[in-house]
Amino acid sequence: MPGPASLTPMSRVTKMKITMNKLFLLSPALLVTAGLGVPAQAQSLAELYESARSYDAAYQSAQAQYDANKYKAEQARAGLLPTVNLSANASQSQRNLSSGAPQDISYGTQNATVSASQPLYRPANQATFDQGQRQLEQSQAQLQASEQDLIVRVSQAYFDVLAAQDNLAFVQAQKTAVSEQLASAKRNFEVGTATITDTREAQARYDLVLAQEIAAENDLRVKKLALDQLVGKTSTTPKPLQTANLPQPMPQDLNTWVKQAEQDHPSVRQNRIALDVAKLETAKAQAGHKPTLDLTASLFTNRNLAGSDIASIDSTLTRTTVGLSFNLPLFAGFATQNRIKETLLLEDKARADLDNSQRTVAQATRAAYFGVISGLGQVKALQAAEASSQSALDANKLGYQVGVRINIDVLNSQSQLFQTKRDLAKARYDVLVGGLKLRQANGSLKPDDLQAVNALLAK
């Protein structure tokens, strides 16, 4: 079998091209994590999200706050329900007579009262109850926003690891290519067909790639630690991206995304509910001028325990009372009037906050939408650049073999190709994360949306 030195320039280039094409038919992440296959312990994005859902402190805090607000809302119902109280007391008396024949007399008294009150007309209590229900809806929107934030954080960390794996794989592949070019330059110098400059240029590029490899390994280590901390697992291994077919944002009409954001985004819903709560606060303030009416009832029992010189039997008194309690405020030092003015101004503030949140989410949705569209265009352009860079590298290798190109041209072409491949891989990940961020921007992001991303991962 002929050795490398006996191959023609064209056969060397053809052999290297075939090797490089085989190398990049596989995902770089696969090359790093498992060589030719996906590890059995590799986790999908949905699996790691479920782990983070039960571990992430920020999400657990939001969940606990929502559960607490449910009980807080129920507290506001108490103002519409009856109240019942029980009071009781017992006393024992000792009387001593010192005149005449000394006598010690002991007797006792027992009292018990059960009282109940049912509000019949209390507009302030009704407004407080309505506020509690609206604030529960507000806390639900806050929990949804926290859930969407967790989805994006997990997805970003997931694809950061894949991007770091790709970067390391490309750097290592570039190191292999540069080492081959360095060996070729040394051989050519030894036979006198090249100068020492080619060898030194290749050596300098090889040393640079070694430094890049060290940085890439550290970056991957850091990214994996960040993902482990987020999901509460150790040695997580994300499944790599299997297909290059990236989904288009659906629907493709920007105005539809913006309109949905202005209606359903959690922050918009929170501010819309805050406006309703502010209006109810005004209703509570206005109730300061209105009368209140309560139904009251009480049962009183008094029992006297007879002493030896008072009575021969015990006595019991029972009194039952049922009535209506009416109260009409007449004057409170202008406190009610000023409170109404305050709440009306707070209504204006809540209305302005709602307008501001709608404008903010609309702008964020537009930016996220154009970011996805731009990312898809960038992926397409980088795919063309990858093919062009591969052709340029092949041409430079051939030119170097026939003497019309120098070694630095080949090294530059190699760097350009690997940089393009890194940029293309990262651009794909950015599009996938950008699609999730677009749904977060318009408030429609749900855990089920991760299934569409899971379908693009290796099985």
Tens-digit pLDDT profile for residues 35-71: 435 565 889 999 999 999 999 999 999 999 999 999 9
Q: Which residues on adjacent β-strands are paired with residue 92?
A: 108
- Residues 189, 194, 196, 202, CA torsion sign: negative
Identify the band that residue 305 occupies on the pLDDT scale cut at 50, 70 and 90. confident
Angle of the 407-441 helix axis to the 335-402 helix axis, nearest 10: 160
Highest mean predicted confidence (pLDDT) among 198-202, 215-219, 238-242, 393-397: 215-219
Locate 43 and state its tokens: 């986790």
CB 43 within 8 A of CB 238: yes
Read off the pLDDT of residues 184-201 as tens digits, 9 standing for 90 and up. Answer: 888 888 888 778 888 898
> Where residue 245 falls among pLDDT bands split at 50, 70, 90?
confident
Distance CA 255, CA 238 (A): 35
Contact assessment for residue 165 and residue 216, using Cβ atoms and an 8 Å cutoff: no
**Mean pLDDT across 429-451:** 94
Question: Closest by alpha carbon to 144, among 57, 262, 226, 65?
Answer: 65
Query: pLDDT, tens digit, for every residue of 118-155?
Result: 999 999 999 999 999 999 999 999 999 999 999 999 99
**Helical H runs in 76-195?**
123-191
Instruction: Show the domains of the chain with their CATH numbers.
Output: 4-80+123-289+334-454 (1.20.1600.10)
- Please answer whether residues 337 and 351 qualify as being in contact, where contact means their C-beta atoms are separated by less than 8 angstroms: no
User: Residue 206 burial (CB < 10 Å; 0-12/13-18/19+)?
Assistant: middle
**Token pair in block for residue 76:** 């506001």
Residue 102 sits at φ, ψ, to 5 deg, of -60, 135
Supply the pLDDT for residue 39.
Answer: 60
How far apart, in Å, are the Cα atoms of 107 and each of 92, 315, 391? Answer: 6, 12, 114
Exposed (0-12), middle (13-18) or buried (19+): which is 224, by Cβ within 10 Å? buried
Q: What digits encode the pLDDT tens for the residues 63-94? A: 999 999 999 999 999 999 999 999 999 988 77
Cβ-count burial 294-332 (b if 16+ within 10 Å, e if not): beeebeeeeebbebeeeeeeeeeeeeeeeeeeeeeeeee
Torsion sign, CA atoms 74, 79, 83, 88: positive
The two tokens of residue 431 are 């599009």
The residues with which 107 forms a beta bridge, in sequence order, are 93
CA 453/CA 456 separation, integer angstroms: 5
Residue 66, burial from CB neighbour count under 10 angstroms (0-12, 13-18, 19+)? middle
Length of the chain measured in residues: 459
pLDDT higher at 16 or 411: 411
Residue 413 has pLDDT above 70, yes or no: yes
Task: Answer yes or no: pTM beyond 0.85.
Answer: no
- The per-residue pLDDT for 341 is 96
Name the strands in the sheet holding 292-305, side by side, starting at the edge strand that comes first in the sequence: 83-97, 103-121, 292-305, 315-327
Instruction: List the Cα angle 230/135/118 in 5-degree steps.
Output: 140
